[in-house]
Chain A
Amino acid sequence: MKLRNLILSAGFLAMAQNASAEIMASGSAMAWQCAPCHGTNGQEFVEAMPPLAGMPAKQFIDAMIAYREGTRPAIIMDRVARGFTDEEIKAMAYWFEKQPVKQWENTSLNEALEADATARSTGGQQ
């Protein structure tokens, strides 16, 4: 409970996140589902699919909403994006924003755990 207060104090974004916590998967749980195409924790920088790690949250949110609404051309991302609500998209965006901007193979387990913890504590998710 105390922790939740702490997170709420992180600001309005976290609050929006918490409000829907009951009915929504966590940011990391959703972000993990992107890994087969975008790399573990979004850290794939050499393939055709864009890396998501470190992407500014606004860029992620705008892109996903545009895919979902069909205003941005897509191969499969239109179909994928239609599976997510605005709140879910935001939670993923904040989580990915905090992941290290480097190839997964060069990232240590501790770096990954730290980035995950940072993402969670700044409203990336609860």
Chain B
Amino acid sequence: MSQLENKQFDSKITRRDLIKLFGATAVAGTGIFGASQQAYAKSAAHVVVLGGGVGGATLAKYLRFADPDVKITIIEQYPEYITCLRSNDVIIGMHTLDELTFNLDTIKNKYNVNVVIDTVIGADFDKKTVRTAKGDTFSYDKLVVSPGIDFRFEDYEGYDATLAEGAFPHAYKAGPQTLELRRQLLALPQGGTAIIATPQNPFRCPPGPYERASFFAEYFKEHNPTAKLLVLDPKDRFTKDVPFKKAWERLYGYKSDNSLIEWVSGSEGGRVLRLDAKNMTVETEGGSYKADLINIIPNQRAGKLAQIIGLTDSSGWCPIQRDTMESALHKEVYVLGDSSIADEMPKSGYSANSQAKVCAQAIADALKGNAPGKAIYSNVCYSLAGQNYGVSIAAIYEVRDGRIVAKGKSAGVSPITDKPAQPILEAVYQKNWQREFVKDVFS
């Protein structure tokens, strides 16, 4: 390629063009690149990221790819992040919480990101500042918010956050509750009954409750074969229900007289109305059930932070511009991950990671005054219906008529075949995927 033609010199040369012409190393040697390695130029824009979970960490890393100069700060409330991903495995002892614990050190060091451990308590969108619990104020040019989810305990009479921290863990944020649920599963009397109550749509990790149910059944099969799991569902369908139920038939006698799992759909009265903690009883639209273990995974809404600072609409979730993830309510503010309304995309870690990349490019483009490129999103969710039996759902997404929808004929769940290799390979991929995914997020 003939690079040094005269006409090139009268165009506005951006950093990328320079790298294109001379290579990043050469440019770095001139100090142009070096600036971002040591100190930010005074004029560099400041992007502040609230929440250093899947969405926030991915955003910081990929924004650095898209803009070597921008100043990036993550404000995250906890020094360590425990992934929900594979936290169901912890309940059956397939993983430890330690193996699921990550921090932002690589994000900070490799991608030159300021990491502040503090809780954000407010934002002023006119002044473009955020406030923290420790009393600090941060100014931003662009704000990114990825605070995860909050629970609607008020949808269940007799259930609340205190009970969840105690004898009735939802275990839908990984941590001490995950370990408590494991303890309860192991302590279940022989022939006892466990209940998993699943949430109404939309909620974080749509296959999560059903993967957990599968693990309970697998555990019973080996250690407590006369126990029973009751799955109480406010819905009539759930994600990957066809391959999940097929797996339950193959592995846990589902639909037979001594099935380890029974699933009560919404039309059959599966919606939980009330928890009677004292009598270990759950009241549903269809009747009351007594159990030895009760795991209610509550209905959900956008993370508290998003509610407090005014990014949610009447649905409890955050409306966004679909091609950039910019809030539909406030300019220069972007919402990622579970909190956002992303139409056909499920609330998964994969989705949060995918959205963060689109958002990173959109922010870099906006800071340079360029129009956003065409957005492309993706999601692949592998779940386990048993330790060696995987089921998956996958799709590529694009924005059409203002909604994020499946692109081409990409959307689909695992086919049901008679080939045992399919679910076994899906389980292998599941495990590979988890290891790989956290690297893409945190390193």
- A residues bordering B, Cβ < 8 Å? 1-3, 5-6, 9-10, 23-26, 29-30, 32-33, 35-40, 44, 47-49, 75-76, 79-85, 104-105, 109-114, 116-118, 120-122
- Inter-chain contacts of B410 with A (CB < 8 A): 79-84
Of B8-16, B39-47, B147-155, B294-302, the one touching chain A: B8-16
7 interchain residue pairs of minimum CB distance: A83-B396, A83-B410, A114-B24, A2-B11, A117-B19, A25-B376, A121-B20
Tell me if A2 and B10 are in contact (CB < 8 A). yes
9 A-B pairs within 8 Å (CB atoms) are namely A33-B376, A33-B377, A33-B378, A38-B436, A79-B395, A114-B23, A117-B16, A117-B23, A117-B24
- Inter-chain contacts of A111 with B (CB < 8 A): 24
* Contact among A1, A76, A79 for B429, CB-based, below 8 A: A76
- Inter-chain contacts of A109 with B (CB < 8 A): 64, 110-112
Known: A82-B396, A117-B23. 5 other contacts (CB 8 A): A10-B1, A33-B378, A47-B432, A76-B380, A82-B408
Of B247-255, B327-335, B350-358, the one touching chain A: B350-358
On whether A75 and B440 interact (CB within 8 A), knowing A1-B11, A29-B373, A109-B110, the answer reads no
Q: How far is the CA of A3 from the CA of B376 in the complex (A)?
A: 24
On whether A83 and B406 interact (CB within 8 A), knowing A29-B376, A76-B392, A117-B20, the answer reads yes
Q: Count A/B pairs, Cβ under 8 Å.
A: 154
Q: How far is the CA of A5 from the CA of B2 in the complex (A)?
A: 11
Q: How far is the CA of A80 from the CA of B429 in the complex (A)?
A: 15
Tell me if B440 and A30 are in contact (CB < 8 A). no
- Inter-chain contacts of A33 with B (CB < 8 A): 354, 357, 376-378, 396
Across the interface, name the chain A residue whose C-beta is closest to B22: A117
* Contact among A26, A36, A48 for B437, CB-based, below 8 A: A36
Cβ of B443 within 8 Å of any chain A Cβ, yes or no, is yes
- Inter-chain contacts of A25 with B (CB < 8 A): 373-376
Of B168-176, B189-197, B264-272, B420-428, the one touching chain A: B420-428
- Chain B interface residue number, banded: 35 or more
Tell me if A49 and B432 are in contact (CB < 8 A). yes
Tell me if A29 and B358 are in contact (CB < 8 A). yes
- Shortest Cβ distance from residue B108 to the other chain A in the assembled complex, whole angstroms: 13
- Inter-chain contacts of A81 with B (CB < 8 A): 410
On whether A6 and B436 interact (CB within 8 A), knowing A25-B375, A80-B410, A82-B410, the answer reads no
* Contact among B1, B65, B361, B440 for A36, CB-based, below 8 A: B440
On whether A120 and B20 interact (CB within 8 A), knowing A76-B429, A109-B64, the answer reads yes
- Inter-chain contacts of A113 with B (CB < 8 A): 19, 24, 33, 65, 68
- Inter-chain contacts of B7 with A (CB < 8 A): 2, 5
> Would you give the 0/1 interface string for B48-67, flagging 1 where the beta carbon is closer than 8 Å to chain A?
00000000000001101100
- Inter-chain contacts of B437 with A (CB < 8 A): 36-37
Cβ of B435 within 8 Å of any chain A Cβ, yes or no, is yes
On whether A112 and B65 interact (CB within 8 A), knowing A36-B437, A121-B1, the answer reads yes
Majority SS of interface residues in chain A? helix
Tell me if B436 and A83 are in contact (CB < 8 A). no
- Shortest Cβ distance from residue B378 to the other chain A in the assembled complex, whole angstroms: 4
Cβ of B433 within 8 Å of any chain A Cβ, yes or no, is yes
Across the interface, name the chain B residue whose C-beta is closest to A1: B11
- Inter-chain contacts of A39 with B (CB < 8 A): 436, 439-440
On whether A83 and B395 interact (CB within 8 A), knowing A2-B11, A76-B429, A110-B24, the answer reads yes
On whether A36 and B350 interact (CB within 8 A), knowing A75-B425, A110-B28, A117-B20, the answer reads yes
Q: How far is the CA of A32 from the CA of B394 in the complex (A)?
A: 16
- Inter-chain contacts of B115 with A (CB < 8 A): none
- Inter-chain contacts of B16 with A (CB < 8 A): 117, 120
Tell me if A36 and B394 are in contact (CB < 8 A). no
> Would you give the 0/1 interface string for B377-418, flagging 1 where the beta carbon is closer than 8 Å to chain A?
110100000000000101111000000001111111000000
Q: How far is the CA of A33 from the CA of B354 in the complex (A)?
A: 6
Most chain A beta-carbon neighbours within 10 Å: one of B62, B65, B354, B437: B65
On whether A83 and B407 interact (CB within 8 A), knowing A76-B380, A120-B20, the answer reads yes
On whether A82 and B20 interact (CB within 8 A), knowing A75-B426, A114-B25, the answer reads no
- Inter-chain contacts of A47 with B (CB < 8 A): 432, 435-436
Cβ of B17 within 8 Å of any chain A Cβ, yes or no, is yes
